[in-house]
Amino acid sequence: MKPSISLSTFKARQMQWLLGFLGRSPNSSPTAGFTLLELLVVMVMVGILAALAGPSWGNFANSQRLGAAQDATLRALREGQFTARQKKAVWEVCFRDTGSNVEFSAHRAGDGGCENALWEPLLGEAKALVQISGGNTSFVGNDPYIVQFNSRGWLATGQDGDASNGNAANVEERITFAIRNQEELNTYSCVFVDTLLGAVRVERNDVCTGG
């Protein structure tokens, strides 16, 4: 078994390596300072590390934002299902993109699409950074997009009222999100309505574009 190394020993070895890299002796005076060349070398190293870490951090942040849009959509759809069962009425969930924000509303269905909507932001701090990918969204409607649930929590149909005609077409369809004004990244998240019973699932990237 290898002997363990204390934290102080580890730090001392790190300092020895750094001093060696800069061409300094470990016994140099701590007040000797650094030359301009040494500072430039450190700045270049920091710049290289930042350049390498930047894209990875950006991809991670975008993935988190798209995941947040997915989660918020799931909550909105489940809220619509739950309230439809609770109120014994047709309830609809609407989504729209204002061009600067994605909004949703869960409310009692009226005679026209989303006429009873009380719009609110789908997301919090990232609300301006995510958009609905219209070309990859296939829910009924065309911004606003509409999903209706009946008193059983199932997808509403024409049997639940004239306003629900065509709603069954939401089966196996989706709403898709992308980073605003950056669809060329080909990074997507989406939520599908799988069955007439209202089952939903989440997917990412190619599945969200029909690929």
| Structural domain contains residue 204 | yes
| Structural domain contains residue 181 | yes
| Structural domain contains residue 24 | no
| Structural domain contains residue 148 | yes
For the whole model, what pTM was predicted?
A: 0.73
| Structural domain contains residue 205 | yes
| Structural domain contains residue 120 | yes
Per the structure, the complete domain to which residue 193 belongs is given by 55-209
CB 193 within 8 A of CB 200: yes
Count CA within 13 A, CB hemisphere, residue 24: 18
The string of pLDDT tens digits covering residues 164-200 is 888 899 999 999 999 999 888 889 999 999 999 999 9
Kindly report the CATH number assigned to the domain that includes residue 98: 3.55.40.10
Residues in contact with 90: Cβ distance below 8 Å, sequence separation at least 6, in sequence order = 84, 108, 109, 148, 149, 150, 151, 156, 160, 161, 163, 164
Count of structural domains within the chain: 1
Count CA within 13 A, CB hemisphere, residue 174: 24
| Structural domain contains residue 46 | no
The string of pLDDT tens digits covering residues 78-131 is 999 999 999 999 999 999 999 999 999 999 998 878 999 999 999 987 778 999
- d(Cα 13, Cα 28) in Å, to the nearest integer? 15
The helix/strand count (H/E) of the chain reads as 2, 9
